Structure 1
């Protein structure tokens, strides 16, 4: 199966590794890509695990996210810019666009996301203002 985050990679060679072991994720961009794939695959447990403990959605929000992500058709991911977020950093940002179809219209999430290290692995903190 093609990886949702990268048309040139298979899921087993790309995001599946992250989904099976979050500690294998070595950069903020890799975590962001694995989170996009988790949205496409409705892997809500991974989305929770890869979310910073201080900003992690509640159980009710988790159910709402799962319902929504299953209701849309994910189209593609474009990574626009990455700042820091490598193996030598404790934080970083990734700007991206995630395209999806909802109710017959193409929509886009354009976000500059913050990431940090928590419990020895990368986590999503939230969207930068």
Structure 2
């Protein structure tokens, strides 16, 4: 992203102070919502290494091929962030995207776990 450009995660903050430090490894996400937003921005930027590093080992795919993905991500709306204890959280979100000129939306309830002070994406359930 260009210097000063707003982060694609929808926070309204510049990328350099939002998801940029997470993507570079300078910082780790302080909440599951922050991790989910950074993962959305990583899909926008096609940062496969970051996505794999933030995916829990128990559910992480053996490989990703975002280079072949022609999706254009259009926006993110976080609807809910629930953290019932120190190590578990869920984030409900809607992400809009376009493939071959056709609009789509992904409505998901994602599960996260915190291990050794770091949040990881575990899995998601598609919602209607």
Question: After TM superposition, what 4+ stretches of structure 1 lie above 6 angstroms from structure 2?
Answer: none
- What is the root-mean-square deviation in Å for CA atoms of aligned residues? 1.8
More strand by share: 1
Counterpart for residue 29 of structure 1: 33
| 1:108, distance to aligned residue in structure 2 (A) | 0.7
- Map 1:11-22 to 2 at 5 A: 11-21=15-25
Q: Indicate if the aligned counterparts of 2:10 and 2:77 stay in contact, CA closer than 8 A.
A: no
- Tell me how far apart the structure 2 counterparts of residues 128 and 17 of structure 1 sit (CA, whole Å): 28
Instruction: Indicate how the Cα distance of structure 1 residues 54 and 23 shifts in structure 2: closer, same or farther if over 3 A, else same.
Output: farther
Secondary structure of the corresponding residue to residue 3 of structure 1: coil
Give TM-score scaled by structure 1 length.
0.87
Give TM-score scaled by structure 2 length.
0.87
Instruction: Indicate how the Cα distance of structure 1 residues 74 and 124 shifts in structure 2: closer, same or farther if over 3 A, else same.
Output: same
Q: Which has the higher contact order (CA 8 A, sep 6+)?
A: 1
Q: How many residues are aligned here? A: 122
Instruction: Indicate how the Cα distance of structure 1 residues 43 and 106 shifts in structure 2: closer, same or farther if over 3 A, else same.
Output: same
- Tell me how far apart the structure 1 counterparts of residues 11 and 34 of structure 2 sit (CA, whole Å): 15
Q: Indicate if the aligned counterparts of 1:44 and 1:66 stay in contact, CA closer than 8 A.
A: no
Counterpart for residue 78 of structure 1: 77
| Long gaps (5+) in structure 1 | none
Instruction: Indicate how the Cα distance of structure 1 residues 24 and 6 shifts in structure 2: closer, same or farther if over 3 A, else same.
Output: same
